[in-house]
Structure 1
């Protein structure tokens, strides 16, 4: 889960795009492509929470 603080970023998962509001969370299922974009000019603060048996960073795949 990722929770947005203060700003209103654009969240995209597969073909669904929506703007998150302040303190709104979103759930990203395992192995789902997703993107978070800061549509404003101020810095964006994101709190990411991982759960499960493995929460390491070495299984992340980045796409252009």
Structure 2
């Protein structure tokens, strides 16, 4: 459980930060609040993917 929490936190920070920076610099209208909320949602969903779905995909392809 501790490993999942660490994976979630790191995934949230890495994916969220990278996506937020990308959104901030690529948008024509630079809105920090919009980039921050987009980064938070993207970070949460990608972190959930890393914790719950990615291990199942890796386990599926290791079997073959």
Normalising by structure 2, we get a TM-score of 0.20
- Which structure has more strand as a fraction of its residues? 1
Q: Which has the larger radius of gyration?
A: 2
